[in-house]
Amino acid sequence: MAQPATQAIAAPARLEVIELATPVGQVTLAATAVGVAHVLLPGTSREPMITSFLRRQPCAEIALLDAITLWLEPAAAAVMAALAGCDRPSPPLDLDVTDFERLVLTEICRIPRGETRSYQQIAVAIGHPRASRAVGQACGANPVPILVPCHRVVGESGRLVGFGGGLDMKARLLAREGALLT
C-alpha cells in the first residue's frame, strides 16, 4: 500500500509594523520576510494597509512593534538615507501591485534624485504613450513612497499634482532633494 504524500505546511504570513520618527514626521514601515511591503507617510492611517494585507493573507499575524527588527531594519535605513539625501539601493520589496504598476514603479526608480519627470514622460518611457492617467493611478497606488520616489513625478507643465501624502509633503520631499520646480 502506498504511503500518503506528506506536504509541508507553510508558516502563516507575518507583517511587522513600526512607526519611525523621520525628518518629515512619523512614517509607518511594514515588512514581511520577503521585504518591505508598505511605507506610510505622516498622517496616513495604517488600518487600510492592515485590512488589505489580511484580505490577501487571512491567517497572517500582524506585529505592531516598538523596536526595529531584522525585517524592518533595511526599510528604516533606506528611508532615513533617502531623506538625508543619500542614494542607496532599495531594500528588497514585497509589493502587491499589478504588472502595469510594477512597470511604472520600476521606471520611477530610474529618475535621479533632484530631478522630476511628468506622468506623460513616464508613460512614453514604458511604451504606453497614451497612459499618462494610468501612470498617475499607479503612482497613487505606490505602497512604498520615498523608497519608490513617486514624488518625483509631476504634471506636464511641471506643476505639483497628485500625491497621496499631500502636495505640501510632495514639495517638502522634492525640496529635500534640491529639485527645481517651475
Catalogue the active-site residues: 150
Residue with grid cell 500518503, as numbered in its chain: 4
Q: Are 13 and 32 in contact (CB under 8 A)?
A: yes
Bridge partners, residue 16, by sequence: 31, 63
CB-based burial label for 138 (10 Å; 0-12, 13-18, 19+): buried
Backbone phi, then psi, for 10, in 5-degree steps?
-70, 140
d(CA 15, CA 38): 10
Q: How far apart are CA 97 and CA 60, in angstroms?
A: 19
